[in-house]
Every structure is written in C-alpha cells, then in structure tokens.
Amino acid sequence: MKNPFTYSLSISGFVKVCLLIVLSCSLGTLMAQDSTATARGAKKKTPVKSTGTAKDTAAASPAFKKNPYVKNTFEGNYIIDNQTVMVPIKGTFEFVIQHRFGIVNNGFSDLFGIFYGANIMFSFNYVPVNNLQVGFAVTNENMTVDWNLKYALLKQTKDGSVPVSITYYGNVAMDTRKKDSVNLFSPTADRFSYYSEIIIARKFSDKFSLQVSPNISAFNNSAGYIDVNGNQDPKWSGVHFSIGASGRYKISDGSAIIANYDQSLAQQSGNIPRPNISFGMEFKTSGHDFEVFFGNYSSLLPQNNNLYNPNDFTKGQFLIGFNISRLWNF
C-alpha cells in the first residue's frame, strides 16, 4: 500500500511544477535574457516527484523515536565485589573469571599474597529476554555452585522523569563438599545459602556514577555451640543485613577509577564481620571488561563476605583481586 506521506509529497511536487510553467509563460520575452543568464550562472533547483520507493517513504516518515533511557551507568555487571545495576541487552552471553589472592601482610614471603592461595570463580550469564539475566557460577571455595537471577525493575531516563535505575539481584548457593565428620550436612538443605539485594543507581554525569545496595543474606546451617545447660544454641543468626555502596569515575573513554564500601548492619554474637573497603581501576574494550583492585573481601559469594569476612582494613589486611568478563551477543 502506498505510504500517504509519499502521496502528499507527489501532489506537492506536481503543483510546484505547474506554478513554475504558468509563471514562465506570463513573463514571456522580458525574462528571456535573465533566464538564460540564470541557467548559465547557476543550477536551478527543480522539485523532484516522489517515486514511491522505500527511500522516499523513509524520508517522508516521522523521525525515529530515540531511546529515552540513560546508557552505560556502569560498564559491566560487576564493580569489584558487587553487582552493578546493569543488565546487558537481550541475547547477551557473558563469561566471567573472578580471582582473589591472599592478604598482602606477609610481604615478599608469598609475594604479597599472590602465592598464598586464591579463590577463583567462573560465571556464565545469559539474557534470554529484555531486562532479565540468569546465571550459573562455580567456585573452589567450599566447592560451591550458585544459581542467580538479575532483573532491571526501573531505568533512569534522560529527561529526568525517572531519576534512578533499580535492579534486583539474588542467588541460591550450594556447598557441594563431600559429607564427612567435619561437614555433616545432615539434611541436604543445610548445604544451601541465599542472597538478595536491591540495587539503586544514578548516573550523575558522563563520568560519575554511584549506586547503593541494601541486601540480606541467609544460611540454612550456621555454626553453633552447647551452653552450660547443655542446650544447642546458634553462634549467630542465620539471617544478616548489610548495605553496599559503589562508585565509578571515568578518566578516559576506556578506563575508570572504581571503589566499593560494604558495611554490616547487625553485629552477630560471637562473630564480627569486618566492613569492606576496596578501590581499583577498570579497563573497557568493545567485548571485554577488566578490573584490578585492592580490597578486604576474600570470598566470591556475597553472603559469605557479609557474614564471615575476617579481614580488618585498619590492620592492613588487604588483598589483590581482579575480574575479567567477556561478552558475546546471539
């Protein structure tokens, strides 16, 4: 069916041509010399009738509506130890390697923790539909596997009508170590832990972005003890609240300064999880995101960090870590 905009353009062109013919005839001989001079001195613009092609149709159609959302609040899914508010576009597959060395306190004896030992995690994430990412990860820490989900609930808009982006992230982790005298795991449910957070972020400028993420961690099985009356009591609550804050400041098109701060909101009896301070550099290419940093968190599961972190930054108990992610789109 012929585009109505193209039809209007054709009628307009035809009317213009008719008017030009009438005007030329009425002027007659008086304009002959001037017309000849004009033809020799300059090219006269003649309206062109639409051919009804796709090109003409596109030219006559209304302008394409631009995406109203703010882009690239953060460069990738991770900012040091925390998830970011970002969810990649539909069809994106991501492979992530995360690495945490030992603390630097031993100096050259173990090359500042690099030869001490390391926690390593491999993550596989995919975006099957818009705004939803699902993932699977494995780590050598307690031979844990986890399944995770990330969903963009709200996106910051360019006109400011929506001032922040909000994303949900959660995981279910399973300790897969073999059952023995130390790791009893009497019911299978004791192997599971859980983590949920709401990430609230804002991109303040092309260079600076900030987010906060209140979160909750839960464990089906936690350490306990026998009191003086012979009763079995838990060492700490299986549910724990924390909050994290993360920021990025771009110093060039492909690099940025990044930082995290994570704070426990409840001190547990017999256990004092230490807060996390971390800072580093991020380097971005078209398909890779690389981060290298110093921080206090040694685990690669957020629930473990929030409840069990033993590293005290006031005593210089930092460690070196890095994240590498690679994206493909299908």
- Per-residue pLDDT tens for 83-120? 999 999 999 999 999 999 999 888 888 888 888 888 99
Token pair for 84: 């970011």
In the chain, % helix, strand, coil (3-state, to 5) comes to 20, 45, 35
Segment holding 145, helix H or strand E: strand 144-154
Compute the distance between CA of residue 40 and CA of residue 35 in angstroms, rounded to an integer.
9
Q: Which residues contact 42 (CB under 8 A, 6 or more apart)?
A: none
Residue 87, CA distances (Å) to 94, 214, 230 in order: 11, 18, 50
Phi, psi of 323 (to 5 degrees): -125, 135
Q: Which residues contact 222 (CB under 8 A, 6 or more apart)?
A: 234, 235, 236, 237, 238
Nearest by Cα to 247 from 209, 295, 281, 279: 209
Strands 208-219 and 239-252: what pairing?
Answer: antiparallel
Alpha-carbon 245 to chain mean position: 15
Nearest by Cα to 274 from 314, 245, 239: 314
For 116-174, the pLDDT digits (tens) are 888 999 999 999 999 999 999 999 999 999 999 999 999 999 999 999 999 999 999 99
Alpha-carbon 12 to chain mean position: 50
> How many Cβ atoms are within 10 Å of 174's Cβ, its own excluded?
15
CA-CA-CA-CA dihedral for 215, 196, 275, 250, to nearest 10: -90
Q: Which residues contact 242 (CB under 8 A, 6 or more apart)?
A: 214, 215, 216, 217, 262, 263, 264, 265, 273, 306
What residue ranges of the chain have pLDDT lower than 50? 1-45, 58
Long-range contacts of 148-152 (CB under 8 A, 24+ apart): 148/172, 150/77, 150/83, 150/87, 150/125, 151/87, 152/85, 152/87
Alpha-carbon 282 to chain mean position: 13
Nearest by Cα to 77 from 318, 246, 266: 246
Local structure of residue 314 (DSSP, 8 states): G
Beta-bridged to residue 168, according to DSSP, are 151, 198
CB burial class (10 A; 0-12, 13-18, 19+) of residue 226? exposed
pTM (2 d.p.): 0.76
Q: Which residues contact 253 (CB under 8 A, 6 or more apart)?
A: none
